[in-house]
Amino acid sequence: MFADRLMESIRKKGNPSVLGLDPRPDMIPRCIRDAQGKDLCQAVYGFNRALIDAVADIIPAVKLQVAFYEALGLEGLRAYRLTADCARERGLLVIGDVKRGDISSTAEAYREAHFHGYFQCDAVTINPFLGYDSVEPFLQSCSEDGKGVFVLVKTSNPSSGELQNLKVGDEYLFQYLGKKVADWGRGLIGKYGYSSVGAVVGATYPGELEHLRRLMPNTPLLVPGYGAQGAGSAAVAHAFDEKGLGAVVNSSRALMGAYLKTEKPERITVHELKKYTRDEALRMRDDIMDAIAKKMQKPKGNVRMGKQEREMVKPEGLKG
């Protein structure tokens, strides 16, 4: 079961951080580019492999945003496959950030491609906008093949509230989606109390994140927004339960670009690239784990929302 494998890896490594691998050609350091010549696929893969080597023993998973690979054409998709294979060989879970959503027959094709075909991911992100029949093929793979999904519920981007914070009856759309996702995953709960059907909830909206954690107690959360998007560890901590489990936190640009903070990034070696990436990954781990520990020491119900958040969202049980 995907959820159990994820929780076991988090517990073993004492770290809920996920390395996001979103390759931009201009971020690939010269030491990698020069070694690969004009072979873009090998340059992307070489960069990703160096990053994976740097942190494989301290993180539970990687997340590959497929759009950055698709933008590079067939060579990019080949690099996506090679990167996923490399991560699995290092004992990491692979989350394909593909955000697929379509009618059932097309969803089945997406499922085959990303679970059983060329790419072989352990879990994928999906968009629930088309309803249950677009989600069901992925749920089937969760049940029968040990795969996982993370369904978009409350995303981290600035305009997410235009749709996700609309009222649906007496509740907000993100709340309605959260309940749906929890219901879809009810029969897939593992020994740690979490389902293989997870949710994507951004840390850039800590009030909503805290509320959804309580609303979906058996749903693992994939949390974007930490670092480059502006959310700090105190916001991220709302995603975790009283045992410090239940979520993974993604960081892409801060980890992939850690070497850019050096004095002469164009001159770094592969060894130095790995060191800077590892140092940043350890800093992120310690930052998040410290915030989780502080949260666990506080009385329940101690989360306060800012005025803007209170005006946007007033979920049941949160005091204004």
The residues carrying an active-site annotation are: 99
Q: Which residues contact 188 (CB under 8 A, 6 or more apart)?
A: 1, 3, 139, 142, 143, 195, 196, 197
The span from the CA of 80 to the CA of 68, in Å, is: 9
| Pairing state between β 247-251 and 148-154 | unpaired
